Structure 1
Amino acid sequence: MAETAIERQANAASRRKMLRTMGTLAMAGLLAACQVVPKSNGPATPPPPDRPADDIGPGLPTDTDRHRVALLVPETGPNADVGTAIANATTMALLDSRTEKVRITTYDTALGAAAAARQAVADGNKLILGPLLSEDVAAVAPIARAAKVPVLSFSNDSSVAGNGVFIMGFVPGQSVERVVAYARGKGHVRFGALVPKNVYGDRSAAAFRTAVTEAGGTLVAVESYDRSATALSGAARRLASGGAMDAVLIADSGGTAIRAVPLIKSSGNKQILGTELWNTEASLGSNAAMRGAWFASVSDGLYGQLAGKYRTRFGKAPYRLASLGYDSVLLTVRIARDWKPGTSFPASRLLAADGFGGIDGIFRFNNRGIALRALEVSEVGAGGFRVVDPAPTKW
């Protein structure tokens, strides 16, 4: 197997101390759309990184044989476990692809995303993978743009995409559109929705309204709630009494759906619809009221294989977002075949009409830089999930 190269960033002691005063960034906003796989308590055993000494000067030695690619993720702070899982997955992708053309250096965004981006550019990286949070993307984008370095982010916030920034995260609107179209195809006509009062809920509601109209359905009602049991119950009861409907979307976690569904069905049986948030909650079927519900998400078939290999190598289960790190490397390796080391990354190739494939299935970027994904529809059953409409395998 070809030897791969992973470097870890080591800042000078004075700069490290200064950046720590900036504090760590909390996981918030759209990242709530991405659930995690429960982790084991076993120790992680990543291969030792090639870490430069603290007294190294700005910039890294010129590498004429490999492409310099920066990985911007949180390695410290409250989101360190997610960032580490993504970084570990990029290591696995490099090993699995057996590439000799790509060199990845990891930079800790918890010490300041803008500072990490400036260092990545100074070190000669021609492509940035990450960052994770939308606010970090906003901080990194102008720095990368000025240096003509494209950003391939793991965010699912479509508002930060464009002008050199591409997002690979699972955009909630796509899941909503897919499951509504499937439900309409199965004869459901009158739709309602229950959504939280946050960014995820707002965007899910907007996508829902559009999806119902485009599918030729009738929008009956959309009810929203804040994060209290009383507010959720009130919204569910209002929805149940708000008019005849035969399908209801719950744009929240499976746990929230379990509490709301009995109230929604109190005025008559309805087809329950969910989003990609449910794809890691296989125990939903243990609740009888949830059985028969449909939701759309990326396929978990290949992810299951990745998770097994990850456990073997690192001693614990990965976060579900780790697949984004893996797929970002596969994409980079594909483009690197015809990319001359030391030259600018050919960002136009990210817009290839045939798209790319990876752990999460096929995807392609639209002209706004948003990853459009092929999604499957699953049904909740007593023994887990059953795919009722597979994801397309080609565009």
Structure 2
Amino acid sequence: MFAVLSRARKALRTAAVVASAGLVAACGAPMMSDLGGGGAGSGGPQIDPKQPVRVALLVPRSDSGAGTIARDLENAARLAIADLDGVNIDLAVYDTAGSPATAASAAQRAVDEGAKIILGPLRGEVAVEASKVVADEGVNVLSFSNNPSIAGGNLFVLGPTFVNTADRLMGYGRRQGLDSVAVLYSEDVPGQFGRSAIQQAAANNGIDVATTQPYPLSIDGVTSAAQNMGNVVSESGADAVFITTDATNAAMPILLQVMPENGVDPAQTQYIGLTRWDVKPELFGYPGAEGAWFTLPNQSMQQNFSSRFSAAYGTSPHPLAGLAFDGIAAVGALVKRGRSDALTGRALTQSAGFQGTGGVFRLKSDGTNERGLAVATVRNNQMVILDPAPSSFSGAGF
């Protein structure tokens, strides 16, 4: 245990800042208790599907901290356009500079110049301002944010949400006989979002949240919480411990080492992760990882996108680049149907959804999204798929 604590100590000094920044970069708006905004509108501009359809892409090109992702989002969008058969998309790219005011101006200019739908911006608070200025013209905005609290009206979020992940895991858990969970979360923005998402998903699936346990992002705070979880699980009667912490966070090795040493036996209590543990395979060697559940997208489709992107542009795509591909794929699929109302809110939220870089996804009437996810576990330090990602919204996994 002491080796684990020593390695984690330095990283945890900045963990609070890094963890918050990681989520806020995509979110950037106040949390709402129900993790959802108002309902999305059903309207939108009319198009002529026989003519080129102008799509605006708003990315932070001149933001010094986001140049790489801006480039990759644009490249992914162009890669998706090249895939379209019989659909002519006229892509117009606008720089937001990562600024709400600049994004609002860019969104208005895009619509004035003929854009029928907007992809982006990246950050939640930037997307909010962009959507406001074009709402009265009925133009829908498919932002790259993962913050469900900004969604609604003409603003949709394409980013994977904690609610979607938690719901997939809770649904799977319920089918395995899971009755109650203890939630272990960090006292920061991502941790609070995660806790709320798990509580909502538990309610959706008839699972009891026996207790929620916060911990401060400090070496002592993480260690103390991990040491105490054995008592918490015993007293609450929880069947599982649901951990919100990101796999790359320095707290994770401590939790996965110290909890099993203090009475949270993975053979008796199910460990569940809200984030993708496969991005940090070093975690698989810790005792708490054995048999744990977490989700991931359709791996064959994601690898196919990554390979094609690398072949086209000579570099691996940013993890969020696929969202721009997904947005274009959705627009292209709808325009191909040949209807003038292809880009209205009603069309965007059609129940069958779309095929994206990580599998099937659909936009919901509240402006959030639902994505098909696989449930995976760890066996003998190797990832194993327990329940494959669904290929449509009519089968298992939803």
What TM-score comes out, normalization by structure 1 length? 0.79
CA distance in 1, matches of 2:117, 2:150: 17
CA distance in 1, matches of 2:176, 2:338: 46
Provide the C-alpha distance between the structure 2 equivalents of 1:351 and 1:118, rounded to a whole number of angstroms: 24
For the structure 1 residues 161 and 108, does the alpha-carbon distance in structure 2 shift closer, same or farther, using more than 3 Å as the test? same
Match of 2:88 among 81, 97, 101: 101
Q: Secondary structure at the match of 1:328?
A: helix
For residue 166 of structure 1, give the secondary structure of its aligned residue in structure 2: strand
Query: Structure 1 CA distance, aligned partners of 2:241 and 2:25?
Result: 24
Where does structure 1 lack aligned partners over 5 or more consecutive residues?
A: 1-25, 34-62
- Provide Cα deviations, 1:312-344, integer angstroms capped at 9, x if missing partner: 222221112111111111111111124578x99
- Superposition deviation, residue 118 in structure 1: 2.4
- Aligned residue for 1:363? 361
Q: In the TM superposition, what is the alpha-carbon distance from 1:362 to its structure 2 partner?
A: 1.5
The residue number in structure 1 matching 2:263 is 267
Say if 1:27 and 1:133, in contact at 8 Å, map to a contact too: no
2:58 corresponding residue in structure 1: 72
CA distance in 2, matches of 1:182, 1:344: 34
Residue 306 of structure 1: aligned partner: 305
CA deviation vs aligned residue, 1:106-139 (integer Å, no higher than 9, x gap): 1122263222212212222111001111111111
- CA distance in structure 1 between the aligned counterparts of 2:106 and 2:299, rounded to whole angstroms: 32
Where does residue 374 of structure 1 map in the other structure? 372
Distance (Å, rounded) in 1 between the aligned partners of 2:195 and 2:255: 17
Q: Which runs of 4+ in 1 moved over 6 A?
A: none
Give 1:346's aligned residue.
Answer: 344
Partner of 1:203: 193
Q: How many residues align?
A: 340
Distance verdict in 2 for CA 1:109–1:27, change over 3 Å:
farther
Aligned 1:51-90 pairs, distance under 5 A: 65-76=51-62, 77-90=64-77
Counterpart in 2 of 1:46?
A: none
From 139, 143, 153, give the equivalent of 1:149. 139
Residue of structure 2 equivalent to 1:335: 334
1:160 alignment partner in structure 2: 150
How far 1:251 moved relative to its partner? Answer: 0.7
Q: Distance in 2 between matches of 1:288 and 1:261?
A: 6
Query: Identity across aligned pairs (percent)?
Result: 26
**Contact 1:296/1:378, CA 8 A, preserved across alignment:** yes
Matches within 5 A, 1:1-395: 28-31=22-25, 65-76=51-62, 77-110=64-97, 112-244=102-234, 245-255=238-248, 256-265=251-260, 266-269=262-265, 270-338=269-337, 345-382=343-380, 384-395=382-393
- Indicate conservation of the 8 Å contact 1:69/1:125, yes or no: yes
Deviation at 1:216, TM superposition (A): 3.9
Secondary structure at the aligned position of 2:354 is classed as: coil
C-alpha distance 236-145 of structure 1, shift in aligned 2 (>3 A): same
Contact 1:221 1:239 in 2 (8 A): no
In structure 1, C-alpha distance between the alignment counterparts of 2:282 and 2:300, rounded to whole Å: 17
Aligned residue identity for 1:247:
A
Q: Does the CA contact (< 8 Å) of 1:127 and 1:151 recur in 2?
A: yes
Change in CA separation of 1:116 and 1:277 when aligned onto 2, cut-off 3 Å: farther
Shift in alpha-carbon separation, 1:348–1:234, aligned structure 2, 3 A = same
Q: Deviations over 1:40-84 (max 9, x none)?
A: xxxxxxxxxxxxxxxxxxxxxxx9931111001112321221222
Query: What one-letter code is carried by the residue in structure 1 that aligns with 2:158?
Result: M
Alignment-derived partner of residue 14 in structure 2: none
TM-score, structure 2 length as denominator? 0.78
Q: Structure 1 residues 137, 352: CA separation in 2 closer, same or farther (over 3 Å shift)?
A: same
SS in 2 for 1:178: helix
CA contact (8 A) 1:296 1:377 kept: yes
SS in 2 for 1:357: strand
Listed as ranges, the gaps of 5+ residues in structure 2 are 1-19, 28-48, 394-398
Task: Decide whether the 8 Å contact of 1:71 with 1:104 is kept in 2.
Answer: yes
Q: In the superposition, relative to structure 1, how do residues 195 and 185 fare at CA in structure 2: closer, same or farther (>3 Å)?
A: same
